[in-house]
């Protein structure tokens, strides 16, 4: 880091140079001059990160230098040196975003504090810029994935952002149109296995992305949602029908499946996309119940389907996965029981399709869980086979409930193992480093966890704070050394992480109810 000092008083210039010459400060290159003209040249050529300058100098003032930095958008923090009489004059530099002021006569401690604050500010900004660059690189590399995740949020999660934020994200993801319409492509096939279901959903999604790049897609169960944008506010239904039929026919030629397509009403408000999702789901349920392999517009549905419950299945799946993730078996049971009551009002085909839809999405959720491969294999094959083979709907649902309970148990076991591993990590780190000056931030970096989260985690699983565990370990070691060695108390204090022997004595006395010296005398007496 480079620091430039410009002050037309040679003594003050030299004094400041001496204050900031310590290598521990992090200033690797220091320039100092009492000639303002030379200072301006150094500013232009060397581009220091920090400039400390007298505000009031002949010919070229500190204000002039601050203005040059501001006008040329340099990343140089300016610290003014000014007397009380210059304070009103200094306020005119507010527009140039001066970082701080030092008042004459300059106090060395205040000057050091000021520069350290400037260095921390620069390092934080650099860190922010690095993180932003990482984000930009990731965003550019994974742009398509990010767009799909954005569509997933719109389809399945409550929209909590403002319209301004939503519009900004639309621009960022290049999703701009006068009107939006949602398509839903679902398929059916005889004697379908779960692996085939994944394959055909994937195949449809890849087909749409390869041949119809203007569509933004997201696969969900046996359905691929496709967001269609148009600049024409008035939509031509015949053209839409022609487009969707063309896509449907191509996919049915390529794959041995029957495809049902739902088309929503148009909207100019992207925040209404969950209403469109309800509309296309209604279209597909209608087509499925009618056993009609055709394209259905929401506007053409019979009135009886204007308030159907297929949409609720998707909301239920989202809620169910959330409860399974949380490992709450009672909540999962309650959700499934309440939904079973509603399912039995539907035809058997609808019940079976609903179970298959829930299974496919839960399997997608499981795929990302840190479970052992043997458990994943059992979840995906052994147990699921019983569900798929069962023809009796009552038993099918009972197997489904058992399957969910097994998944919750696996998640809870995995979480307990992870918690135990982290607690062991906390104690191992303390055992290895208690003699050093360590804190919660150090162990957070070691375990790659957020300090606030780790603090709550330790308290929740041990009943103690990190500080208390560390203190107990240090005092335990101190007692051993007092009892078994001839080391002096200050040496023991240093060894167990307390450079200040008076502080060590106070902590020891609080924990053991006697001073280190008294503890040594008493234990020696017992040993003798």
Structure confidence at residue 152 (pLDDT): 87
Q: What is the mean pLDDT of residues 254-278?
A: 89
Average pLDDT, the chain: 84
Q: How far apart are CA 263 and CA 408, in angstroms?
A: 37
Q: What does the alpha-carbon distance between residue 499 and residue 490 come to, in Å, rounded to a whole number?
A: 8
Residue 278's pLDDT band (cuts 50, 70, 90): confident
Average pLDDT of the residues in 63-90: 81
Lowest mean pLDDT, pick from 56-65, 191-200, 453-462: 191-200
Q: What is the mean pLDDT of residues 484-498?
A: 92
Q: Are 205 and 219 in contact (CB under 8 A)?
A: yes
- In angstroms, the CA 481 to CA 352 distance is 70
List the beta bridge partners of residue 100: 79
**For position 305, what pLDDT does the model report?**
66
Lowest-pLDDT range of 102-116, 157-171, 358-372, 389-403: 358-372
For residues 241-260, average pLDDT: 91
Q: Does domain 2-138 have CATH number 3.50.80.10?
A: no
Q: What is the mean pLDDT of residues 331-339?
A: 84
Residues in contact with 161: Cβ distance below 8 Å, sequence separation at least 6, in sequence order: 169
Q: Who wins on pLDDT, 33 or 387? A: 33
pLDDT tens per residue across span 166-215: 888 888 888 889 999 999 998 877 665 556 777 888 899 999 999 998 89
CA 365 to chain centre: 18
Taking domain 434-527, whether its CATH number is 3.40.50.1100 is answered by no
Question: Is the pLDDT at 40 greater than 90, yes or no?
Answer: yes
Q: Which of 143-157, 193-207, 335-349, 462-476 has the lowest mean pLDDT?
A: 335-349
| pLDDT value for 26 | 82
Cα–Cα distance for residue pair 465/460, rounded to 1 Å:
9
Question: In this prediction, what percent of the chain has a pLDDT beyond 70?
Answer: 91
CATH topology of domain 144-305: Alpha-Beta Plaits (3.30.70)
CB 496 within 8 A of CB 477: yes
Give DSSP secondary structure letters for 9-55: -HHHHHHHHHHT--GGGT--EEEEES-HHHHHHHHHHH--SEEEEES
Give the pTM: 0.47
CB 13 within 8 A of CB 5: yes
Q: What is the pLDDT at residue 242?
A: 92
92 pLDDT band, cuts 50/70/90, is low
**Cα(216)–Cα(205) distance, rounded to whole angstroms?**
10
* Candidate from 70-74, 160-164, 263-267, 325-329 with smallest mean pLDDT: 160-164
Phi then psi dihedrals of residue 514, to 5 deg: -165, 160
Q: How do the domains of the chain map onto residue ranges? A: 2-138, 144-305, 310-407, 434-527
Q: What percent of the chain has pLDDT over 90?
A: 31
pLDDT at residue 189, rounded to an integer: 72
Measured CA to CA, the distance from residue 448 to residue 442 in angstroms comes to: 10
Per-residue pLDDT at 311 exceeds 50: no
């Amino acid at each position: 880091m480079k620091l430039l000092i410009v002050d037309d008083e040679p003594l003050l210039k030299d004094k400041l140079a001496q204050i900031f010459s310590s290598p521990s400060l992090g200033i690797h290159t220091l320039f100092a001059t009492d000639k303002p003209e030379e200072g301006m040249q150094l500013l232009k050529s060397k581009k220091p990160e920090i400039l400390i300058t007298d505000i009031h100098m002949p010919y070229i003032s500190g204000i002039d230098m601050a203005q040059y930095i501001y006008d040329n958008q340099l990343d140089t923090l300016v610290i003014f040196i000014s007397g009380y009489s210059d304070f009103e004059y200094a306020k005119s530099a507010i527009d140039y975003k001066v970082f701080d002021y030092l008042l004459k006569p300059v106090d060395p401690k205040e000057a050091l504090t000021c520069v350290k604050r400037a260095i921390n500010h620069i390092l934080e900004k650099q860190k922010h810029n690095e993180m932003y660059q990482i984000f930009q690189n990731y965003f550019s590399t994974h742009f398509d994935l990010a767009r799909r995740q954005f569509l997933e949020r719109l389809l399945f999660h409550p929209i909590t952002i403002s319209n301004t934020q939503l519009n900004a994200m639309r621009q960022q993801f290049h999703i701009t149109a006068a009107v939006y319409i949602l398509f839903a492509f679902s398929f059916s096939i005889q004697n379908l296995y779960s692996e085939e279901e994944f394959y055909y959903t994937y195949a449809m999604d890849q087909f749409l992305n390869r041949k119809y790049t203007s569509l933004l897609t997201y696969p969900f169960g046996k359905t691929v949602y496709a967001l269609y944008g148009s600049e024409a506010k008035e939509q031509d239904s015949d053209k839409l029908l022609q487009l969707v039929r063309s896509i449907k026919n191509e996919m049915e030629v390529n794959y041995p499946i029957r495809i049902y397509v739902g088309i929503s009403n148009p909207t100019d408000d992207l925040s209404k996309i969950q209403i469109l999702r309800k509309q296309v789901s209604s279209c597909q349920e209608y087509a499925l119940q009618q056993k009609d392999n055709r394209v259905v517009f929401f506007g053409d549905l019979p009135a009886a389907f204007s308030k159907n419950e297929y949409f609720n299945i998707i909301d239920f799946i989202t809620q169910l996965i959330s409860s399974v993730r949380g490992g709450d078996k009672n909540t999962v049971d309650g959700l499934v029981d309440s939904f079973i009551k509603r399912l039995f009002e539907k035809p058997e085909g609808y019940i079976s399709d609903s179970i298959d839809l829930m299974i496919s999405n839960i399997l997608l959720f499981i795929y990302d869980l840190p479970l052992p491969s043997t458990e994943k294999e059992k979840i995906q094959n052994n147990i699921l086979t019983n569900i798929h083979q069962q023809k009796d709907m009552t038993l099918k649902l009972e197997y489904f409930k058992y399957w969910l309970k097994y998944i919750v148990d696996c998640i809870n076991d995995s979480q307990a193992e992870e918690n135990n591993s982290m607690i062991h990590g906390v104690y191992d780190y303390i055992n290895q480093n208690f003699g050093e000056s360590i804190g919660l931030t150090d162990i957070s970096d070691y375990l790659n966890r957020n300090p606030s989260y780790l603090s709550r985690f330790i308290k929740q699983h041990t009943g103690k704070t990190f500080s208390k565990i560390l203190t107990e370990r240090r005092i335990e070691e101190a007692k051993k050394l007092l009892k078994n060695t001839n080391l002096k108390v200050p040496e023991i204090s240093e060894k167990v992480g307390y450079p200040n022997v008076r502080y060590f004595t106070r902590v020891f006395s609080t924990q053991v109810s006697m001073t280190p010296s008294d503890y040594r005398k008493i234990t020696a007496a017992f040993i003798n």
